[in-house]
Structure 1
Amino acid sequence: MANHKSKTALVTGAASGLGLELAFLLAKDGYNLILIDIDAQKLDVAKHKILHNHKIEITLLEKDLSKVNIAQEIYNDLMSTEIDVIVNNAGFGLFGTFHETDWERGLQMLNLHILTTTHLIKLFLPHMVERGSGKILNLSSLAAFQPGPLMALYYASKAYILSFSEAISNELKGTGVTVTVLCPGPTKTDFQSVVSEDSSENKISFNMACPKQVAAYGYKAMQKGKVLSIPGGINKVLSFLPRLLTRKRATKIVRKIQDKNREV
């Protein structure tokens, strides 16, 4: 077991799903935790579950991560705390044609996936570089590798996270700071319940992954300093397929899958 008793990890979307599983793994390795989520009740439950098995310090922050400039608010709250690990896990999906979906909900998703994720890293990264150590784990998706009709904003935002993570990982070579981007396929978490009743994310059972296994795979990749982490052999193949097809063909295939699952 690694000894990180003097180190602190920040995890967003930590009240359930992959965020909670990653928090458990960090606690097992002795990291003190800062858990951030919009659901205060679930956060408190998560805290007690973790403390039942691990003697660490846990700070809870109830924050709406879809709000503009929320990253600055979090940074101001934690200015006296040295952050060694950042896990940008929080996220949700939005299903439907772009012209019909609710713009306010779409805007919240873009703020969360793109602005908050980027701004948190922008604020804390200079301190990591100055110390010469730090780890960042960003949650993207298998969706990042191709356009996604009927979930256009979600797929596009996850593509941003993938591209951004790979780019800054390259910039940080030799600094002692690493960036890992985790790109899971369908995973059995609360994500499905906040997309849409009509979403294919609610219907897909094929290749559905266990959150514990996905979290463990991504956590191991982060600790090793790997850049890209795609759990599951099928997902690795699927991530490669768009390179063999035209983007038009890949887009049509995704649309057919989304339509078929919507009809289930």
Structure 2
Amino acid sequence: MSGSLTGRTALVTGASSGLGIEFARDLARRGAAVVLAARSEAPMQALASELRAAGATVHVHCVDLADAAARTALAAQLEAEGLAIDVLVNNAGFGVFGAFADTEWERLDAMLAVDVVALTHLTRLFVPAMRARGFGRVLQVASTGAFQPTPSYAAYAAAKSYVLAFSHALDVELRGSGVRCTVVSPGVTATQFLAVSGQRATWYQRLTRMQAPAVARQGVEAMLSGRSGVITGWINALMAHGTRLMPRNVAARVAGVLMRN
């Protein structure tokens, strides 16, 4: 494991489950003080106890990241506590599976509020101070779905395409400032993603599924090495890059077959 973060403070969103927990564990092992932010307090407190027992400094903030006022209040509270965020991991998010025209708008609206708006707002809240201090690392969580239109995940894949494009553009803007932005694009990961989205695992998803600790480690290591992006897993990388050789309508049809229950 490379890359020490001793003396640095990392904020991890969506830190109550799945990849958020693994990002927090990985960062804490590297010496970072960790700020956990999510809606569900009990699992964050359990994680905080685990990390503190291993010697880490941990702060827990129960916050609804879909609420713009709550995001602003979180940044203000951390500043008031004297916590300068050196590493921001925008992990919070979820998917919605199903035909777009048959999906309740409330679910789509909530997904876009977290996956797109909250990620963008939190980046805007913390990057200026990083730049002023001359150091910062931002890790945005996209998806292999960002690389092609994906029927049954139409809005989710489009949201992750936004994250991918936004992150690469921001990283170029920040060159020379001491701040870097990295985007990690996992494929199917052994978390609660499918259960929350409402999908049963397909044969393709079972074949390519990765364990969450490995995904988190690859993302953090890419961030610390200053890479602008990483796709986790060689099969995922092959499939994602392969879509660039296809017309978009063909890529969409292939993705639709692979996602079909």
Q: Give me the TM-score of the superposition, normalised by structure 2.
A: 0.94
Question: What is the aligned-residue RMSD (CA, Å)?
Answer: 1.6
Distance 1:210 1:201 in 2: 17
Give me the whole-angstrom Cα distance separating, in 2, the residues matched to 1:138 and 1:152: 20
TM-fit CA distance, 1:208? 0.5
Relative distance call for 1:201 and 1:132 in structure 2 (3 A) is: farther
Structure 2 unpaired stretches of 5+: none
In structure 2, the partner of 1:255 is: 256
Deviations 1:81-138 (A, max 9, x none): 2110000001111011111111111111101011110011101111111111000000
Quote the residue 2:178 is aligned against.
176
Report what 2:152 is aligned to: 150
Structure 1: 5+ residue runs without aligned partners? none
Task: Return the offset for 1:200.
Answer: 4.6
Alpha-carbon distance change, 249 to 2 in structure 1, aligned in 2, over 3 angstroms: closer
Query: What CA distance in whole angstroms lies between the structure 2 residues aligned with 1:199 and 1:249?
Result: 24
Q: Report what 1:64 is aligned to.
A: 64
Q: How far does residue 19 in structure 1 lie from its aligned partner after superposition? A: 1.1
Mapping for residues 80-99 of structure 1, pairs under 5 Å: 80=80, 81-99=83-101
- Map of 1:116-195 to 2, 5 A cutoff? 116-195=118-197
Counterpart contact for 1:145–1:159, Cα < 8 Å:
yes
Q: Following the alignment from structure 1 to structure 2, what is the Cα–Cα distance between the partners of residues 48 and 19?
A: 16
Aligned to 2:29: 28
Partner Cα distance (2:122, 2:3) in 1: 26
Q: CA contact under 8 A between 2:202 and 2:258: conserved in structure 1? A: no
Partner in structure 2 of residue 115 of structure 1: 117
Equivalent runs, 1:220-259 vs 2, <5 Å: 220-259=221-260
Distance 1:201 1:128, change over 3 A: farther
Quote the offset at 1:2 in angstroms: 5.0
Deviation per CA, 1:204-246, whole angstroms, max 9, x where unpaired?
3111101111111111101101001111111111111111100
What is the SS of the residue equivalent to 1:99?
helix
Greater Cα offset, 20-29 or 167-176: 20-29
Tell me, in whole angstroms, the C-alpha distance in 2 between the residues paired with 1:162 and 1:192.
Answer: 21
Measured at CA, do residues 216 and 95 of structure 1 come closer, stay the same or move farther in structure 2, by a change above 3 Å?
A: same
Q: Would you say 1:7 and 2:19 are equivalent positions?
A: no
Alignment partner, residue 51 of structure 1: 52
3-state SS of 2:208 partner? coil
TM-score (norm 1): 0.93
Deviates more, 1:88-97 or 1:61-70: 61-70
Which amino acid is the alignment partner of residue 171 of structure 2? S
Q: What is the rounded CA distance, in whole Å, between the counterparts of 2:17 and 2:58 in structure 1? A: 15
CA displacement, residues 10-41 of structure 1 (integer Å, 9 cap, x when unaligned): 00011221111111111111111110111111
Q: What amino acid sits opposite 1:56 in the alignment?
A: A
SS in 2 for 1:78: helix
From the superposition, tell whether residues 224 and 180 of structure 1 become closer, same or farther in structure 2 (CA, over 3 Å). same
3-state secondary structure, aligned to 2:259 = helix
Question: Aligned residue pairs: how many?
Answer: 258
Task: Provide the C-alpha distance between the structure 2 equivalents of 1:179 and 1:9, rounded to a whole number of angstroms.
Answer: 14
Residue aligned with 1:75, SS: helix
Identity %: 36
Q: SS of the residue aligned with 1:36? A: strand
2 CA distance for matches of 1:91 and 1:169?
21
